[in-house]
Amino acid sequence: MLSTVLQRLWWISLLRGILAILFGILVLARPGIALVSLILVFGVFLVLEGVFAIIHSLQGRREMPNWWVMLLEGALALLLGVYALRTPGLASLALLYFIGAWAVVSGLARIIFAISLRKEIQGEWWLVLGGTASVLFGLIMFARPGAGALALLWLVGIWSILAGIAFAMLAFKARRFGNAITAAKAQVAGS
């Protein structure tokens, strides 16, 4: 079950959330950063995000019927991150589409997981919120590619912080849920 995996590996969701929040803060704190620097920082972020998502999916493949969705998200993030690091001179338009595509795919994956969790735990709406924000952000990137690098930086920073908060909230919810189950099992065993 997906909730079992989230309980056991709650700390990976927390790390993903912290990583996204730190990335968002870095982008907002340095809005004048050059576009090439953004590509490099975003590439590192995607590589780490991809590695964590792949580990999470593989560790939970027995309990999660849709584990492959998270594996696909992680593999895509990893590939896009490596590509961004290898070719940092991408044109700004290509970067917008690159970020937009990743945001839409990862947002849809998070919404799918939230729907899977709906019957298992409460509070799955945090993941829906993060997934929806990600999809909306990606669609904005496709609709307004000429908005400019500074606007892109602000959108990336805000989006990353919101997605990170959603992951952190999910991690804490999963940990509390797991602790409650462990306490209930201990109480039943003690009776």
Q: Which residue has the higher pLDDT, 121 or 77?
A: 77
The CATH number given to 2-183 is 1.25.40
By the 10 Å C-beta count (0-12 exposed, 13-18 middle, 19+ buried), 188 is classed as exposed
Q: What is the pLDDT of residue 35?
A: 65
Is the predicted pLDDT of residue 17 greater than 60, yes or no?
Answer: yes
Is the predicted pLDDT of residue 191 greater than 60, yes or no?
Answer: yes
Is the predicted pLDDT of residue 154 greater than 70, yes or no?
Answer: yes
pLDDT digits (tens, 9 = 90+) for 20-29: 999 889 888 8
pLDDT digits (tens, 9 = 90+) for 33-85: 656 777 788 889 889 999 999 999 999 888 888 889 889 999 999 998 888 88
